[in-house]
Structure 1
Amino acid sequence: MSLPQDPPRSFFPFGNPFRMISPKGTKLSPQLLAVLRAFEETLEERLKQLIPKSKDEVVSLSWMTSAMQALCESHNDIKTLMTDLELPVTDWDEKWIDVYLDISVKLLDICNTFSSELSRLNQGQLLLQCTLHHLGSSSSDQLFRACSSLDGWRQHMSSKNPRFEKCGSILDNLVESSDMPKVKKSAKGKVLMQAIYGVKALTVFVCSVFTTAFSGSTKNLIDMDVADDYSWAPAFKGLQNLVNGEIRVKFSSGRFTVLNELEAVDLSVRELHPIIQGVVHTIETESQSKTVEKLGRATDNFSEGLDLLAKEVDGFFQVVLSGRDALLSNLRSVTPDVDYILGGKSDAQLVN
């Protein structure tokens, strides 16, 4: 049964607010231009590396791991850029700080949601391990337990993670926060805002793909309308069109999941379940043995992919958290009443 298609979501329904911070009309020194170009060239190369070599890589856990690595590196690049620009926090506009802190707390929240889903998937792996353990014996009692474990896995995987119900609003807020404050006098500020825009575009894209893959719905899949003014725009559009397009094709075909490794496990489970049901009172068949081996390989591959991705998601959480803490520390060192100035945003609570 095919799933209904959700209409593509536009990143900027009212145009691109970042046109107002483009260096056009503002003379940047050769040094600032060099810094900006180096940053954007790195971002462009990173986007190109994320373009899958084939549709089979969409969406694999290995690709998702690479995407999360790209996010970590890009957010670290922003920290490096701030150092290269020699733009101390005392020169930051108050609105820039508010936006940065607001974005960071939302990213931390969505990271927690991803981590909770990875934990849920790992819990399902325990049921598969129990199944494989029971299948190590040909006794009817063990085969019955194997059937029970498989039924438990299928029931577990059919459940939904309630935390994804709020991911849509988080992504919407991230999109809305892309309307960065207008930079009037600071050339360094313009460079910083343009760099942040590129990283934010990558961040929203990756987070929307993760949310879609984990939640099993395309309603949170965002199509960003990036202006051609940016050198990295062609690579970004190529990446987005390929990944988002293939995800929609998979969902339209009624797939159980768009996660390749999880689909491989599910296919093995579907193949094994009727076999072991039919041989509960007989000796192990050759067909069962081959299918058990197939499930074992798929389970190991899925488990390994989950572990690697979980480490990267935690790494991204730490990158965002450390950047946020560093900014707040710098603000407190120069502004004692920082919590009052920021309207208490520095004390925003994270949902674990």
Structure 2
Amino acid sequence: MFLVQKISPHVFSFLRSSPPKTQSASLAHPFEAALVGRLASLLPLPESSGSVALSWLAQAVHLLAVTFSDAAVLLTGAPSSSDRDALAAYLDSGVALLDACNAASAEIDRLLRRRLHLRFTLHLLASSDGGRNPEKLRRARDSVAEWWGSPRRDIKPFTGDLVRPLAPVVPLRGKLSYVRRATYAVEAASGLIAGAVVAVLGCGRLAVDRVPADFTWADEYHKVAGAVSHKLPGDVSVAEMEAAKAAVRKLTEIMDVIGPNGDGENAERLQEAAKETAKATLELTEGLDALSNAVNELFHSALVLRNTALDGFRMGPQICK
């Protein structure tokens, strides 16, 4: 199901009006300079976990959405005949990004629904008299078991199919127009950032292609790609999910020590473990909500750029020279 939430337009600081109808590559310089700054702002990655944090992913996706919005402003106008080919190629590759956004959104929603088992567990423990109520303690154990046993990583089998089409085709050597430079930039940034989101949610690896050195943002791009790839050795979920798993394991161990009769000897330990689980659950929820909003924003920014590209074809041959 496609995302439909309405978003407000972005304010573009680097460009205030449509570019003149020229093929000068210098028109892309402010756009590329802004991309350099955005990529640089993503480093260093948070060091609190061995995986990638949802908060970082949300920030990266937001910056990608802004880059798409900037590209839409840059590409407003009538393209030349050669640039129409570049726009046509982008229209094909842009579909892959929309698919990735929808898959990521569905996975986030599933993780949020799964988290309800933990909230119900905490509710039961809060009213279990420190574990002395055997029935509520039993139901809390069952709820945790459902959280562990619920279907996970629905996106994992399709990670490769979603990420591979995001990789851009490296442009031919030589002088490139601002249109081709801009479309290649958004394609490469999508392959890196949207690819990272899919890889993290699918517990997979991130593989990105090299960007030619004549692009000013190539160095920062490779730095971000290297940092993220290092954090994704495979089969590792997001940092907030790993923290939640650790807290739930500790909580489960204490519930098992209390035993089926609810002796209550470990009531204080149970209370502390429940607090840790509640904290981890809240951080997971906030991270998933932030990433969901960012993916929604990216989806709509990608649609705006897609419509801008289509407008170039609607102008007709009497305008496009």
The CA RMSD measured in Å over matched residues stands at: 2.7
Alignment of 1:154-193 (within 5 A): 154-156=148-150, 159-161=152-154, 163-175=155-167, 177-179=168-170, 190-193=177-180
Matched to 1:209, the amino acid is A
**For the Cα contact (< 8 Å) 2:23–2:177, is it kept in 1?**
no
What TM-score, normalized to structure 1? 0.75
Count how many residue pairs are aligned between Structure 1 and Structure 2. Answer: 289
1:235 alignment partner in structure 2: 220
3-state SS, counterpart of residue 48 of structure 2: helix
Between the aligned residues of both structures, percent identity stands at 27
3-state SS, counterpart of residue 216 of structure 1: coil
2:207 corresponds to 1:222:
yes
CA–CA distance in structure 2, aligned partners of residues 171 and 290 of structure 1: 41
1:148 alignment partner in structure 2: 142
1:88 alignment partner in structure 2: 78
CA–CA distance in structure 2, aligned partners of residues 172 and 310 of structure 1: 22
CA–CA distance in structure 2, aligned partners of residues 327 and 35 of structure 1: 17
Alignment of 1:337-352 (within 5 A): none
Cα deviation for residue 206 of structure 1 reads 1.1
2:236 corresponds to 1:244:
no
Cα deviation for residue 296 of structure 1 reads 0.4
3-state SS, counterpart of residue 222 of structure 1: coil
Structure 1 unaligned spans of 5+: 1-29, 336-352
Alignment of 1:49-68 (within 5 A): 49-56=41-48, 58-68=51-61
Cα deviation for residue 329 of structure 1 reads 5.1
Q: Deviations over 1:219-249 (max 9, x none)?
A: xx1132122222212211211112211322x
**For the Cα contact (< 8 Å) 1:110–1:167, is it kept in 2?**
no
Greater helix content: 1
Matched to 1:282, the amino acid is D
Alignment equivalent of 1:122, drawn from 112, 128, 131: 112
**For the Cα contact (< 8 Å) 1:137–1:143, is it kept in 2?**
no
Q: Deviations over 1:118-170 (max 9, x none)?
A: 0110011111111111111221111111100100101126x330x44334234
CA–CA distance in structure 1, aligned partners of residues 178 and 307 of structure 2: 23
Structure 2 unaligned spans of 5+: 1-21
What TM-score, normalized to structure 2? 0.81
3-state SS, counterpart of residue 178 of structure 1: coil
CA–CA distance in structure 1, aligned partners of residues 127 and 89 of structure 2: 59
Matched to 1:267, the amino acid is A
2:72 alignment partner in structure 1: 79
Q: Which moved more, 1:98-107 or 1:114-123?
A: 98-107
Task: Note closer, same or farther for the CA distance 1:93–1:225 as it changes in structure 2 (3 Å cut).
Answer: closer
Matched to 2:278, the amino acid is G
Q: Which moved more, 1:56-65 or 1:103-112?
A: 56-65
CA–CA distance in structure 2, aligned partners of residues 328 and 216 of structure 1: 35
